[in-house]
């Protein structure tokens, strides 16, 4: 299958589709800062704010499509303080359940990294749930485990989960750090 990746901007259809993805991911236990059941208006409000930040250049919201249907997303947060202008955060990596295992998340992550490099970023950071999170994917992509914060967040259906913290050097920094080892 051919995964097509595009930068998303604010539109009623995009907000509605991203909201559907967010609601499905949370309903299926995805730990992406929301609790189940997630109200459609709360999901739409989140995506309205997120896409407004993207329209303002503070982040990049990528969408992945299969056969013309939006099935996944990831956010590259570029809104860093002045002393951290070299880094960006990866957030809200989500794939519709029926599209998992098709390379959607991997393709989204690789495009986010490419954009981060083009934006002059040399360090990416991210976190994921300790239970049922995307840690195996991040490790396959070369992200380095920093540590775990136990009992950091509530799971979407209740109970606590830890959060795993990762980073990856990219672009010129990746070559420099590999050469110095």
Instruction: Map out the domains of the chain with their CATH numbers.
Output: 4-179 (3.40.630.30)
Taking residue 81's Cβ as centre, other Cβ atoms within 10 Å add up to 7
User: Which pLDDT belongs to residue 178?
Assistant: 55
pLDDT per residue as tens digits for the range 59-106: 999 999 999 999 999 999 999 999 999 999 999 999 999 999 999 999
Contact 124, 168 (CB under 8 A): yes
pTM of the model: 0.95
Round to whole Å and give the CA distance between 105 and 54.
20
Round to whole Å and give the CA distance between 126 and 145.
10
pLDDT per residue as tens digits for the range 106-119: 999 999 999 999 99
pLDDT surpasses 80 at 1: no
Residues 6 or more apart whose CB falls under 8 angstroms from that of 142 comprise 168
Strand partners, 115: none
Unique residue bearing structure tokens 């992550």: 109
Reported in sequence order, the residue ranges of the chain that DSSP labels E, i.e. its strands, are 4-7, 59-66, 69-77, 87-95, 123-129, 144-154, 160-169
Strand (E) or helix (H) holding 104? helix 104-118
């Amino acid at each position: 299958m051919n995964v097509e990746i595009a930068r998303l901007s604010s539109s009623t259809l995009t907000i509605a589709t991203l909201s559907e993805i967010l609601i499905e991911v949370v309903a299926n236990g995805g730990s992406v800062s929301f609790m189940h059941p997630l109200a459609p208006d709360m999901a739409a409000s989140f995506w309205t704010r997120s896409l407004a930040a993207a329209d303002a250049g503070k982040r990049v919201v990528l969408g992945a499509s299969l056969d013309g249907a939006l099935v996944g997303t990831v956010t590259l947060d570029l809104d860093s303080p002045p002393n951290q202008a070299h880094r960006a955060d990866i957030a809200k990596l989500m794939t519709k359940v029926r599209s998992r295992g098709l390379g959607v998340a991997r393709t989204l992550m690789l495009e986010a990294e490419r954009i981060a490099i083009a934006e002059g970023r040399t360090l990416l950071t991210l976190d994921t749930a300790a239970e049922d999170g995307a840690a195996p994917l991040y490790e396959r992509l070369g992200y380095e485990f920093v540590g775990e914060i136990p009992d950091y967040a509530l799971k979407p259906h209740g109970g606590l989960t830890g959060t795993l913290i990762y980073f990856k050097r990219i672009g010129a920094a990746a070559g420099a750090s590999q050469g110095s080892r």
